[in-house]
Structure 1
């Protein structure tokens, strides 16, 4: 049975018994109340990005119950269920009004392979998604003129298309032999932090720009690097995938969401290990 964005099926517990109808009804109600990964338009998300953030308690509780049965371990299920919900079902970052934000940090999404040259030593083409991210920054700058720190694929458009000033391009690392090493989302955040430490008045609060399905992780990563960070309230992020992207995982939404959840889990893993064994 399919309702909205959710395909619902009967579940079985560890003893292969069908879920009771009352459990199914509760899970369905929770799922419909929770934020839907595929059910909210970008404009709706921009207007009310935190909508439903507190409505996932029922779904989380249902996941905890199923996991407890499957694992025969209630304590572990209780610990894991909130992470399962956050990584799998929450895709809108926390927002703030633009006038509270002191600088823009923008993370690229995909690119187009260079048409010639050694791919290990030739920068790819920025691609249409990064042009849309640059367009988003231009809209933000019309309302608030603040410094911009943009990954190079976006910065190229800010410079060539908009002739925008006060833009710092976060470039890949190029070795002496010309080999290019591209920065991860965390690598970009680390570079931005170093720039902001030297800024007059201190680090300040970041306005984070990123592709819609990457946006939550962009905000989280910026915060994990020690910066206060929010998405700009009322501004929709680009959401159209480029089937010609040089990065295969950024060509289709179903592939990218798996990629992004995997990246989120790696961060959760590192944090949990550090919390559990802080003295090791």
Structure 2
């Protein structure tokens, strides 16, 4: 199969969920596995390798075509983890390596989402600092642990990655009587699936709270270029998911290096 045919097959696969009005995984179920079959046939022809296509296509489908995490009823949550998304440059200027940015409107919307969930389920909240600032100033919310960036003695700021935030939360939950519990994950619409996966990778049971829509409007003035536009961010997020998957597969295949 020519490369243009492979591209056409993927384009058709992308269009299918929109036609069916379902998430990609659901679209594949409703079509009797048609999405997977089309992708597998296209990739097998391109690679001339049925076995590799059969192995790789589920990864392609998960990372490229399914952007919804598993959900759970909020009544079953033991705590909330809220991951930030973007920011705004420091209001007063200064060296961005040593001056914290403004949290920005997207993180305010994420804080609003946390507040709505807390009205349904009063549980501890662990929030990335950009969100925590709004929870404290706008909602005067109690029982909030702010996950802060790391600041070196010379004032240089190291911002935590999604995994870095999850690691901090996992460490804090180790000391909770009764065990870690189940996390309700709050994150930006196109980030939340990876947030759930990352929280789980750090040893926590995690879901998105069912019935709560996550913010999805991009901020064109964000200080993080990859969070200004959806087309850029989706590529960024897929790259991050592929990197984690790569590490897992290599470790699984060659546990002794």
TM-score (structure 2 length as normaliser): 0.91
SS of 1:145's equivalent? coil
CA contact 1:155–1:167 (8 Å) conserved in 2: yes
Q: How many equivalent pairs are there?
A: 252
Q: Which runs of 5+ in 1 are unaligned?
A: 1-12
The answer to whether the aligner puts 1:66 opposite 2:42 as a matched pair is yes
CA contact 2:25–2:66 (8 Å) conserved in 1: no
Higher normalized helix content (fraction of residues): 2
TM-superposed deviation, 1:58: 1.4
Distance 2:76 2:120 in 1: 12
Distance 2:164 2:28 in 1: 29
SS of 1:244's equivalent? coil
C-alpha RMSD over aligned residues = 2.4
Q: 1:89 to 1:247 in 2, by over 3 A?
A: same
Q: Which runs of 5+ in 2 are unaligned?
A: none
CA contact 1:50–1:94 (8 Å) conserved in 2: no
TM-superposed deviation, 1:65: 1.1
> Where does residue 164 of structure 2 map in the other structure?
187
> Where does residue 118 of structure 1 map in the other structure?
95
CA contact 1:50–1:93 (8 Å) conserved in 2: no
CA contact 2:14–2:65 (8 Å) conserved in 1: no
**In structure 1, which of residues 243, 250, 256 is the aligned counterpart of residue 220 of structure 2?**
243
Task: Give a deviation string over 1:149-184, Cα, whole Å, max 9, x none.
Answer: 000000000000000000000000000100000000
TM-superposed deviation, 1:50: 7.4
TM-superposed deviation, 1:60: 1.6
TM-score (structure 1 length as normaliser): 0.84
CA contact 1:151–1:170 (8 Å) conserved in 2: yes
Q: 1:15 to 1:124 in 2, by over 3 A?
A: closer
**Which aligned runs of 4 or more in structure 1 are off by greater than 6 angstroms?**
none
> Where do residues 1-280 of structure 1 align in structure 2 (5 Å cutoff)?
13-14=1-2, 28=12, 34=17, 36=18, 51-52=26-27, 54-55=29-30, 57-115=33-91, 116-280=93-257
SS of 1:142's equivalent? helix
Task: Give a deviation string over 1:194-243, Cα, whole Å, max 9, x none.
Answer: 01001121100000000000010000000011100000000000000000
